[in-house]
Amino acid sequence: MLRKIENSRLFEFLQNQFLILTSLALAVFLWFYVVNSEPIETERIYNLSVLPATSVDVTSVSAKEIHVKLKGARAFLKDFHGDDHLKFQIDLKKLKVKRNTKRIKYTIKDSDLVVPFGVEVVEISPKYVTINLDKLIYKNVPVKLNYTNNLPKDLKLISADIEPSKVRIEGARDIMRGVGLVKTRMIDLSEYTGQGEAQVELEELPDFLRYGEKNIVKFKYDIRPQKANLTLKNIPILFVAPNIKFRSRVRKVSLDVLKTGNDKIKESDIKIYADIPADMGKSANIRLRAELPDDVHLLKIHPEVIKVSR
């Protein structure tokens, strides 16, 4: 009985070893088949970018794209996509470009390019890139609000501001001379109503210029009706306050609004807030804010400001 068990274990062991060796042999066969299969040639496009040095930056580059002819097994190239997916960077800091350098000629080497394993670089075009340089400078420029005033005729823009009003940009001195301001991307005012704020992006800068920080600013707006067609009375104020005791003589307000829809206004849809600051002294004047349904537009709150004291 014991001998039968030992024979069974030996058979199982040999069977496992045979399966492992067979798998390895099959894997080696497939590997040699892929590697030794008929190679193909294809072209990929690398988008070229140049990173600035500490004291100089780019004014122009002789090429924006690098066309590379590659050769290798189809299996290695089929998932290697080009165009927007491939980037090639020249870092001026690593080249140790001197402060007074005006032009450099960079030779693109095969080793500069990221290619799949087993793929050969056959041809690079252009092989050389000329980069013109100038002194790297920084400056703060004003932000101009860029919008289309396509509000309905019953509404008007009371005020519109940008915060911050200036942003920092950086780049080569020769290009920076031509930039005196930046604009926001086009803002569609019909998407906004009442008082509020929204984040908007700035327009793209000319080539080789960059924003010093994020290219996003805060758009503050106040859009109100031309006239009211309804007055809402005795609307309770919702006080938003930290854990402090306070008092206010005014607890309810009235609103002049323009109603453009046909739905009946529910009292629960009208919300007036008073935000009490945590660092309030003995008293503070608090400007009220309103949250209204989409078809109800605020003209005025009576009163717009209330006094709160401890």
SS3 (DSSP) at 190: helix
Alpha-carbon span 140 to 63, nearest angstrom: 30
Determine the average pLDDT of the residues in 241-268. Answer: 86
Q: What is the pLDDT of residues 53-77, one digit of tens each?
A: 889 999 999 999 999 888 887 766 7
Mean pLDDT across the chain = 85
Please report the pLDDT score of residue 219 as a whole number: 94
Burial pattern 39-50, b for ≥16 Cβ within 10 A else e, equals beebebebebeb
Please report the pLDDT score of residue 149 as a whole number: 85
CB count, 10 Å around CB of 96?
9
- Residue type present at position 292: L
Please report the pLDDT score of residue 37 as a whole number: 59
SS3 (DSSP) at 140: strand
Half-sphere exposure of 207 (CA within 13 A, CB side): 10
| Alpha helix stretches (DSSP H) within the chain | 2-36, 74-77, 173-176
Please report the pLDDT score of residue 2 as a whole number: 45
Alpha-carbon span 167 to 211, nearest angstrom: 8
The domains of the chain, with CATH numbers, are 40-135 (2.170.120.40), 136-225 (2.170.120.40), 230-309 (2.170.120.30)
The widest CA-to-CA distance across the chain, in whole angstroms, is 103
Please report the pLDDT score of residue 58 as a whole number: 94
Examine the pLDDT at 103 and tell me if it is beyond 90: yes
Examine the pLDDT at 6 and tell me if it is beyond 70: no
Determine the average pLDDT of the residues in 228-232. Answer: 88
248, burial (CB in 10 Å: exposed 0-12, middle 13-18, buried 19+)? middle
Please report the pLDDT score of residue 246 as a whole number: 86
Does residue 120 or residue 272 have the better pLDDT? 272
Please report the pLDDT score of residue 44 as a whole number: 85
